[in-house]
Amino acid sequence: MSDHWLVRPRAIRRLWELFIAVLALTVVAGLAIEAHPHFAVERLFGFSALYGFLACAVLILVARGVGLLLKRPDTYYDDDAR
């Protein structure tokens, strides 16, 4: 018996294609919409898209850095079970 349709490689490829199409659509939609921003940067084409991606990349990098410093095995506190 085959697994759920959602986990077949074909479906996953389709989902990626759909996702990228939606991404492109949101960026293009920015052109068609009247901007009423608070700050000048918001007028830049695709600002939110770029900013969202970069913010997440930075956050993941910061998390990795913090992880290198502060990660411990999840049994770390088990010996305080007294």
Partner 1 sequence: MTLASHPGLWLIAAAALLAVLRGRSRAVVALAAPLVALTLAWRLEAGVHLRAGFLGMELAPFAADALSRLFAVIFSLMAFAGALFALNQPRRLELAAAFLYAGAAIGVTLAGDLVTVFVCWEVMAIGSTLVLWSAATPAAYRASMRYLMVHLCGGMLLFIGVAAHVLQTGTTAFQPMALDGPAHALILAAFLVNAGAWPLSAWLPDAYPEASWSGMVFLSAFTTKTAVYVLLRGFPGTEPLIYVGLAMVFYGIVYALLENDMRRILAYSIVNQVGFMVTGIGIGTEMALNGAAAHAFTHILYKALLLMSAGAVLYATGRRKCTELGGLFRTMPLTAACGIVGALAISSFPLTSGFVSKSMIAQAAGDEHLFVVWLLLAAASAGVFLHAGIKFPWFVFFQKDSGLRPPDPGWNMRAAMVLLAAFCIGLGIWYEPLYGLLPYPVDYAPYTGFHVVAQLQLLLFSGLAFFVMLGWLRRTLTITLDTDWLYRALFPRVVALYGAALERALAAGGARAARAGERLGAYFRRLCGPQGALARTWPAGAMGLGVMGMLLALLLSYYLF
Q: Which residues bind partner 1 (CB under 8 A)?
A: 3-4, 6-7, 19, 22-23, 26-27, 29-30, 33-39, 42, 46-53, 55-60, 62-64, 66-67, 70-74, 76-77, 80-81
Whose Cβ is closer to partner 1: residue 10's or residue 81's?
A: 81
How far, in whole angstroms, is CA 62 from its chain's centroid? 15
What is the rounded distance in angstroms from the CA atom of residue 80 to the CA atom of residue 82? 5
CB of 52 to partner 1, least distance (A): 4
What is the rounded distance in angstroms from the CA atom of residue 72 to the CA atom of residue 43? 44
